[in-house]
Structure 1
Amino acid sequence: MTDHGDESSGIVDVYATPPANLFGDASKSKNMPPVTVLYLLKTVKGPISPTKFHEEIMSGTLEKNALDSLALMLRDVFVPLIGNPRNQQMWPEIVTTSIINNVHGFFSSLQITLGQTKGATCLPLPWDQAVMESAAKSSLQGDAFNSFSS
Structure 2
Amino acid sequence: VRRAMPGAEEADPEPGADPRLRLLGAYVARSLRPAAGAWERCAGTAEAERLLHAFLGREDAGSPQPLLVVRPGPGGLALRPGLDAGPEAGPPRAKGLFFLRTGPEPPGPRSLRGAVLCGDVPAAPLEHLAALFSQVVVPVLANEKNHRGWPHVVCQDVQRHAHGLQGDLLVILEQVNGKTVLPLPAGADEVGFVDSDSDSALDCTEKSVIYAIESAVIQWSRRVRGVLKRESSQPLLQGENPTPRTELEFWKSRAEDLEHVYNQLRAIKVRGMARLLDRVHSSYFPAFQAMCRDVVAGEDA
TM-score with structure 1 length normalisation? 0.60
**2:138 corresponds to 1:87:** no
Structure 1: runs of 5+ lacking an equivalent:
25-31, 131-150
Structure 2: runs of 5+ lacking an equivalent:
1-49, 79-83, 190-301
**2:128 corresponds to 1:69:** yes
- Which residue matches 2:181? 122
Counterpart amino acid of residue 12 in structure 1 = P
- Which residue matches 2:235? none
- SS at 1:4 equivalent: helix
**2:67 corresponds to 1:13:** yes
Taking only the aligned residue pairs, the percentage that are identical comes to: 24
The equivalent position to 1:47 in structure 2, one of 102, 105, 125, is: 105
Q: Distance in 1 between the 2:137 and 2:168 partners?
A: 15
Deviations 1:65-119 (A, max 9, x none): 2111111111111111111111112545565344323322221211110110000
Q: How many residues align?
A: 123
Instruction: Find the structure with the greater CA-based Rg.
Output: 2
Counterpart amino acid of residue 84 in structure 1 = N
Per-residue deviation at 1:39? 1.5
The answer as to whether partners of 1:82 and 1:100 remain within 8 angstroms in 2 is yes
Q: CA RMSD in A?
A: 3.8
Q: Distance in 2 between the 1:112 and 1:79 partners?
A: 17
Residues 7/88 of structure 1: CA separation in 2 closer, same or farther (3 Å cut): same
The answer as to whether partners of 1:12 and 1:39 remain within 8 angstroms in 2 is yes
- Higher fraction of strand: 1
Higher relative contact order (CA 8 A, sep 6+): 1
The equivalent position to 1:59 in structure 2, one of 109, 118, 121, is: 118
Please identify, of 115-124 and 4-13, the stretch whose mean Cα deviation from structure 2 is larger.
4-13
- SS at 2:68 equivalent: strand
